[in-house]
């Protein structure tokens, strides 16, 4: 046995104790690295695995993070002589403002209609048969030409222009069908060859119509909306009224709106200085509302005009007309007119009547209202005297009957017709 001095034994004991303490510390660090704190960095690593760090690197990184967090969270002690500073408030992250783009200029050009039609123009067929000692060859050639017509109508509401562009494209296709029959075997071989269609622009036509829009066109002074106090203007030589029956069902509202739109539709301009000697009115329930309708744009008139129609004035006009003995029992509405206006409601008065019961389309309503303007409202010779000029009315009534049918335009009263 060797004799070890006590000092050497003490030094060895201290070295062994140091090694044991170092081993315990390393074990604790590895354990912490194996159970990482679930931070956003750790979650991202789980979603997208990266190469595993060594235990020592993980422990080092974790300790560094914890140290930085502790430094950030640790309250700072105030310096002697200075007031403690409040922790600065962190502003919430604001979204980056979206750059404002300049609004696009709205165009007033509206495509009203685009019509595309395609029709065959011509078709040429030729057939040739060639016979040889071995075969019979039948060759059939077809050349077919079609036209594709694109008709587009654009309306520029601001400029009052209507532009119609018609484009015609010609398309030609050639087909060759060949059948070869072997006389020995009877076998037949058919070959069909089609060429690529040839397209050729035949015509492009652009038509520009300058015209004021319907809303900008001046109102004809002979068409007015009137309230109860304005029903019989005394400063006219002729007075007409659109009379709607009080028992007209709600299902007729759309047709009445159509007739109203024809009533307010633009008419040919009057010669300069010409005033309306005859007026045709659409009665409404109040004078204030009539003034609003007379000043409102056309597209915003007829809904209110039908909704607020003056039924009392319409009914009174129908009763005054039936004094002639003619009962107005159709669905209407009616155009009724007197000359002079003071004759309305008197015995023996001549009443001009147009029955609109058969008007069912906007086109028909427009035609009737325009004819009423040219033949009646602007025909001063009809109402320039003490009453309607019957001799001038007869050919007009005959013309109306020929165009619109019997009992469309009539003169009721002692002379009838």
Picking from 298, 244, 292, the residue whose alpha carbon sits closest to that of residue 267 is 298
Eight-class DSSP state of 222: T
Residue 74 to residue 76: CA distance in whole angstroms: 6
Window from 76-90, 223-237, 316-330 with minimum mean pLDDT:
76-90
Tokens of 280: 């045709």
Three-state secondary structure of 149-211: EEEEEEEECCCCEEEEEEEEEEEEEEEEEEEEEECCCCCEEEEEEECCCEEEEEEEEEEEEEC
Mean pLDDT of the chain: 75
Residues 6+ apart with CB under 8 A from 215: 297, 298, 299
- Region 18-24: mean pLDDT is 45
What is the full DSSP assignment across 344-365?
A: TTSTT--EEEEE-TT--SHHHH
pLDDT digits (tens, 9 = 90+) for 123-142: 899 999 988 888 899 999 99
Residue 71 has pLDDT above 90, yes or no: no
Using only C-alpha atoms, the chain has a radius of gyration, in whole angstroms, of 49
Window from 133-142, 163-172, 347-356 with minimum mean pLDDT:
163-172
Q: Which residue has the higher pLDDT, 300 or 257?
A: 257
Window from 87-91, 200-204, 255-259, 330-334 with minimum mean pLDDT:
87-91
Residue 20 has pLDDT above 60, yes or no: no
Residue 89 has pLDDT above 60, yes or no: no
Q: Is the peptide bond before 340 cis (omega within 30 degrees of 0)?
A: yes
Q: Which of 47-51, 147-151, 382-386 has the highest mean pLDDT?
A: 382-386
Phi, psi of 360 (to 5 degrees): -125, -5
Q: 45 near 74, Cβ under 8 Å?
A: no
What is the full DSSP assignment across 319-345?
A: HHHHTTT----SS--EEEEESSGGGTT
Residue 387 to residue 364: CA distance in whole angstroms: 29
Residue 375 to residue 369: CA distance in whole angstroms: 10
pLDDT digits (tens, 9 = 90+) for 323-350: 999 999 999 999 999 999 989 988 889 9
Residue 373 to residue 383: CA distance in whole angstroms: 13
Residue 200 to residue 286: CA distance in whole angstroms: 63
Residues 6+ apart with CB under 8 A from 402: none
Residues 6+ apart with CB under 8 A from 409: 352, 353, 354, 396, 397, 400, 401
Tokens of 84: 């403690």
- The confidence band for 239, taking pLDDT boundaries of 50, 70 and 90, is very high
Residue 29 to residue 24: CA distance in whole angstroms: 9
Strand order of the β-sheet with 409-412 is: 223-226, 278-283, 238-243, 334-338, 351-355, 409-412
List the beta bridge partners of residue 53: none
Q: Which residue has the higher pLDDT, 253 or 275?
A: 253
Tokens of 78: 């105030």
**Predicted local distance difference test score (pLDDT) of residue 133:** 87
Residue 371 has pLDDT above 70, yes or no: yes
**Predicted local distance difference test score (pLDDT) of residue 58:** 43
């Amino acid at each position: 046995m060797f004799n070890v001095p006590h000092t050497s034994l003490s030094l060895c004991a201290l070295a062994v104790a140091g090694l044991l303490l170092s081993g315990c510390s390393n074990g604790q660090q590895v354990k912490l690295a194996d159970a990482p704190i679930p931070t956003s960095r750790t979650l991202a690593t789980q979603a997208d695995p990266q190469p595993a760090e060594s235990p020592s690197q993980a422990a080092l990184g974790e300790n560094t993070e914890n140290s930085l967090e502790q430094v950030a969270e640790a309250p700072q002690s105030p310096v002697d002589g200075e007031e403690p500073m409040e922790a600065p408030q962190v502003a919430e992250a604001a979204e980056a403002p979206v750059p404002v783009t300049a609004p696009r200029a709205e165009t007033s050009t509206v495509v009203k209609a685009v019509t595309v039609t395609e029709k065959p123009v011509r078709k040429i067929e030729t057939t040739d048969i060639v016979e040889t000692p071995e075969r019979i060859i039948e060759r059939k050639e077809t050349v077919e030409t079609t036209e594709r017509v694109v008709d587009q109508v654009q309306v520029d509401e601001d400029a009052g222009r209507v532009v119609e562009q018609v484009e015609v494209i010609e398309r030609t296709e050639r087909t060759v069908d060949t059948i070869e029959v072997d006389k020995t075997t009877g076998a037949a071989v058919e070959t069909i060859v089609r060429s690529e269609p040839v397209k050729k622009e035949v015509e492009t036509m652009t038509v520009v119509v300058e015209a004021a829009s319907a809303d900008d066109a001046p109102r004809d002074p002979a068409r007015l909306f009137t309230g109860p106090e304005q029903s019989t203007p005394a400063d006219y030589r002729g007075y007409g009224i659109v009379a709607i029956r009080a028992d007209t069902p709600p299902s007729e509202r759309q047709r009445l709106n159509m007739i109203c739109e024809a009533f307010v539709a633009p008419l040919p301009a009057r010669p300069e200085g010409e005033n309306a000697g005859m007026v045709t009115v659409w009665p409404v329930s109040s004078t204030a509302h009539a003034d609003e309708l007379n000043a409102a744009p056309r597209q915003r008139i007829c809904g209110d005009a039908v909704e607020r129609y003056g039924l009392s004035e319409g009914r009174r006009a129908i009763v005054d007309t039936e004094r002639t003995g003619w009962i107005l029992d159709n669905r209407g509405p009616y155009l009724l007119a007197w000359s002079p206006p003071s004759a309305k409601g008197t015995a023996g008065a001549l009443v001009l009547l147009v029955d609109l019961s058969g008007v069912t389309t906007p086109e028909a309503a427009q035609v009737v209202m325009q004819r009423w303007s040219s033949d009646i409202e602007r025909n001063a010779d009809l109402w320039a005297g003490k009453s309607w000029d019957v001799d001038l009315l007869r050919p007009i009534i005959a013309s109306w009957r020929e165009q619109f049918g019997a009992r469309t335009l009539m003169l009721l009263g002692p002379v009838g017709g």
